[in-house]
Structure 1
Amino acid sequence: MIIDDEKPKENELISKIQKLIDSNNGDPGRLQHICDMLSQNKPLYHSDQVYLENKLGINNTSLKNNIPHFDVCPEDKIKHMNKFEQKITLTEVKHDPTPLKLRGLMPKDWHPPENNSNELTGIYEKIKTEEELLDDRQKIYDEINLQRSKLSHLILNRKDYEKQVLLEKTLLESQITEEHINIQTQTKISEQIISQKVELEKVKFERNELMKKITIEKDTITKDLQYQKNQLTQTQLEQEEIEKQIKQEQILLSKMIEEQKFNLLKQAQIAREIREKQTDLEKTKKNVMTLHPK
C-alpha cells in the first residue's frame, strides 16, 4: 500500500468531491464514503478510483499521485481478494476443465484417461455455489451502498432541517423580541391612557365646579341685570315725567316771555309816548317863554 501525504493536493481533491456532493452530481453516499476515506488518509479501492476518475475527468496516473490507493502485484492479487473470490480463482486455476495436450510418443493402444464427470460436476456445483454467494455478497454490498446513500441524504436533509430550525429559531427570537417591545410600548400607552383618564376626570371635576360658579354668577348677573333694567325703566319713566314737566315749564316760560315781551313793548310804547309828550311839553314851555319873557 502506497500513501501520498501531500496535504494541499489532498485538500483540493476533497473540496472537489464536496462540490460534487453539493451539486448532487453522482451518488452522494459513495462520494461521501470516498471523501471520508481520503480525510482519514485511508486507501481507496480500484472501483472507487475508477468512479472518481470518471466524475472528476482526470486520468488514472494523476489520481494515483494525489490519493492513497491499493497497489497490488499480479502475483498477490489472490491474497487481497475476499474469501469467495479467492476460492473461485483457486478453483479455476487448479481445476481447468480443458484437457491437456499430450506431447511425445505414448505406448501403442494407450488412451488418455477419461475425465471424471462426477468430480467435474462437483467442482461446477461449488463454483455455482460460490458465484451465488458472491452475488449475494454483491447484493449486500449494493444494499449497503444504497443505505449509505440514503444515510447521506438523511444527513443532508438533517443539516438542511437544522439550518431551517436555526433560521426559524432566529426568526422566532426576533419576533419574541419585537413582541416584547410591542408589549412594553402598549404598556406605556396604557399607562399614558390611564394617566390621561385621571387627568380627564380632574378636568371634568374642575369644569363642573367652574360651571357651577358660572351658573351662580350668571344668576347673580341676571338678577343684577333685571334690577338694572327695572332701575332703568324707572329712570326712563322719571325722565319722561321730568321731560313733560320741562316741556310744560318751557311752554309756560314761552308764554311768560311772550307776555313780558308784550308788556315791554307796551311799556316802551308808553315810554315813547311819554317822551313825545315831554318833548311837546318842552316845546310848549319854550313857546310860552318866548311869548312871555320876564
Structure 2
Amino acid sequence: MSTLPLLLISFLFIVSRSSSSSIVNPSKVKQVSWKPRAFVYEGFLTEDECDHIISLAKSELKRSAVADHLSGASKLSEVRTSSGMFISKNKDLIVSGIEDKIATWTFLPKVNGEDMQVLRYEEGQKYEPHFDYFSDPVNIARGGHRIATVLMYLSDVEKGGETVFPSAEESSRHKTSKPDDLSECAMKGIAVKPRKGDALLFFNLDPNAKPDVMSLHGGCPVLQGEKWSATKWIHVDSFDKVIDHGGNCKDMNANCERWAALGECTKNVEYMVGTPEFPGYCRRSCKLC
C-alpha cells in the first residue's frame, strides 16, 4: 500500500476521533479562580488532535510578537520569547472540529474568535505577565475587546512552563496547598501546569464588560523540556466581519441608531466611529455621511 492512502486513513481516523469528542462534559471542568474567572477542562483535546496541530505548525514557526499599546502594530519584544504561527479556522476538518468544541464550551460564537495561534516555548523561553484585552483603538475596532482566552496545552512539560495569574485573588474557602513541583515563577500567584490535552479558559472582561485587571497572566519560563500550546482569543463581536476600507459610510449593526441616540458616538468612539484604517460599525448613525 502506498504512503498516500495510509496518510488519508490516519487523517480520517483523527477526524472521527475529534468528532466523537466534540460533546462537552462539564464534569471534566474545574474552577481555577473566580477573580479572574478561570477554568481548566481536563482532556479537552485528544492526543491525536494535539499532535495534528503541532504537525501543521512546525514548518511555519516564526519569532512571536506583541501588540504595541498605542498603535496596535505587532513588534518584537523580550517580553515574549516564544515562536509561533496562526492556523485558520477552516484549515481542515480537525481544526474546524476543535473550533466547534471551543464554541460549545465557551458559549461564544465561532465567528467571534481569531485564528488559532500555535506557540512553541523552548528551554528558557517565557511570556511576561500581560493582559489579553486591548488599550489601543486599532485592535478594538475589529470585534471589540477580547472577552475570553482559551489556552490549549499540546504537550507535557518536564518542568516550568506554567500559566500564572500573579494578581488572582485566592479564595479562603477553596485555598489549597500548592504542588511541590511548581517552578518559582508559578509560586507567585495561582498557576496551571501544562498537561497535554488540557485547556484553560479565562475571561479578560468582568461581567460588566470592563477590563478585568485580575486577568493579568504570564507564561513561566520552560526549565526542562519543550512546551507547545494553542491559543484562541475570542472577541465580544464578530472577528470575521470584513472592515470596509473603501470609505463607504454605513451602519453595520441594527442597533446603531439607538446607540447613537444614547450618546455612544462619543462614549464609545472606537466601536461606533473607528479610525480611517479600521472604520467603526455605526458611521451613518454617527452622522459621518
Q: TM-score, normalised by structure 1?
A: 0.19
Structure 1 or 2: more strand by fraction: 2
Structure 1 or 2: more helix by fraction: 1
Highest RCO, 1 vs 2 (Cα 8 Å, sep ≥ 6)? 2
Q: TM-score, normalised by structure 2?
A: 0.19
Which protein shows a greater Rg?
Answer: 1
